[in-house]
Chains A and B, each alone.
Chain A
């Protein structure tokens, strides 16, 4: 069972306080978008072996959504950060590069 640190309230808590919310940094496509874009937005998800970016909500705590960078094989948590951002912060990406040289996720690092 994971431990996550909520970047909003600073609590380091066990997984049962959180609710997982799937892949992070999806771009919403609404009316007027092409079928391909909309389909990607609704259904197509990364399924990496290794570095992954996810959404979590501190549902039994402060109620805030946040992002986490996590390794799906070792479960190492590289960091958590604000939900109010469209891409992983550079500092975190650099940290991951140091730990997992050659990693890639979507268009990152």
Chain B
């Protein structure tokens, strides 16, 4: 079908200290397995052209990315339309390797927080040191945003991508909006 919709239909808001936008549907596959296993690494490389990232990092090139979720879990980003093919390929090449792959594209929502004070917005909600010294492009941090699970990374300067559960999308969007309200910048980063 062609009428798939993201949780909030691509909502955006820019009147505060940062712009907050819901990203379009993103292909996402959860991969559970031994991340040091050669067969698994090869299978991942074959579908994404990417190496398995190390501890708490994200490898991203073009439309593909790999996020380190835990010692035995990866989150794979790919074009939304390619999920089925990728799942089939992975299932095939991992037939004899103990692992679990599943489509979770519709289970998550991604927001983009952008602007010179994007870091301020995150630092109001997550108990994480997001100063430029401690958090840079290439890092992937799972934590919480106020009261719900979330993870974030910075694909570019002044851009933070935040991923959360789809059912929390409205909550997280409102949180980001509140944290980005006018007149609330700190200018400390």
Contact = CB atoms under 8 A, between A and B. Distances in A.
**A–B contact (CB under 8 angstroms):** yes
Interface of A: 8-11, 13-14, 16-17, 60-64
A51 to B, nearest CB: 27
A60 B151 CA distance: 9
B56 interface: yes
A63 B151 CA distance: 13
Nearest to A15: B127
A10 B56 CA distance: 8
B36 to A, nearest CB: 14
A60 B127 CA distance: 11
Contacts, number: 37
A61 B142 contact: yes
B71 interface: yes
A16 B142 contact: no
Interface in B106-161: 127-128, 141-144, 149
A13 B127 contact: yes
6 interchain residue pairs of minimum CB distance? A62-B70, A60-B144, A14-B127, A61-B142, A8-B71, A60-B143
